């Protein structure tokens, strides 16, 4: 994992020591019928397109190795993109002014993160904390609008031995 300099987030006055990799793009494993094509969106998507940030926490089984968790999830994401290939593309505007997905197989940004602490330092993730959410969820720096935001972004966050956090940012489209 290529690691950025140590980052930290405060939680109740403390710090969360985080090491994050640079984002890599995960692409579909196979050539898809959608490569180079367009995915047309519903009328609902034309009016209500939102970005949703989600965080999933898992307590690992003590018998299961955590050595390659990120690699396994990255491989599974590539397999998912074989079927849901529009998520590896990007939003654009058609010649008639409607939102469409350009199926470029550009890829889904994927980040590995590790924190050398216990889960209780992260706090109660059911209570909204924008500073902590900003650490648990990878966002594309510099994206100014929906057209510059990837349709899906993933970050795998390992917290010592106590937890694994998978966070996703997804552009919610009614067709997917």
Query: CB-based contacts of 137: which residues, under 8 Å, 6+ apart?
Result: 53, 55, 153, 155, 167, 168, 169
Neighbouring C-beta atoms of residue 35, cutoff 10 Å: 14
102-121: pLDDT as tens digits: 998 889 999 998 888 777 77
- Give CA separation, 155 vs 15, 24, 43, 110, in Å: 20, 10, 31, 6
118-173: pLDDT as tens digits: 777 777 777 877 877 777 888 888 888 888 889 999 999 888 766 777 888 777 66
Task: Please give the backbone phi and psi of residue 171, each rounded to the nearest 5 degrees, phi first.
Answer: -80, 115
139 DSSP 8-state letter: -
Report pTM. Answer: 0.82
């Amino acid at each position: 994992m290529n690691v950025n300099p140590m980052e930290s987030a405060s939680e109740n006055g403390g710090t969360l020591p985080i090491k994050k990799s640079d984002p890599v793009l995960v692409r579909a494993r196979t050539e898809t019928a959608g490569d180079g094509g367009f995915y047309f969106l519903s009328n609902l998507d034309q009016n209500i397109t939102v970005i949703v940030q989600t965080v999933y926490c898992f307590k690992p089984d003590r018998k299961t190795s955590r050595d390659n968790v990120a690699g396994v999830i990255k491989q599974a994401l590539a397999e998912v993109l074989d079927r849901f290939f529009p998520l590896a593309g990007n939003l654009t505007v058609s010649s008639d002014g409607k939102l469409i997905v350009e199926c470029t197989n550009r890829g889904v940004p994927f980040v590995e993160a590790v924190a050398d602490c216990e889960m209780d330092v992260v706090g109660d993730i059911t209570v909204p904390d924008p500073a902590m959410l900003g650490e648990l969820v990878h966002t594309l720096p510099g994206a100014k609008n929906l057209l510059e935001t990837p349709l899906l972004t993933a970050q795998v966050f390992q917290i010592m031995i106590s937890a694994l956090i998978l966070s996703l940012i997804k552009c919610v489209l009614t067709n997917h």
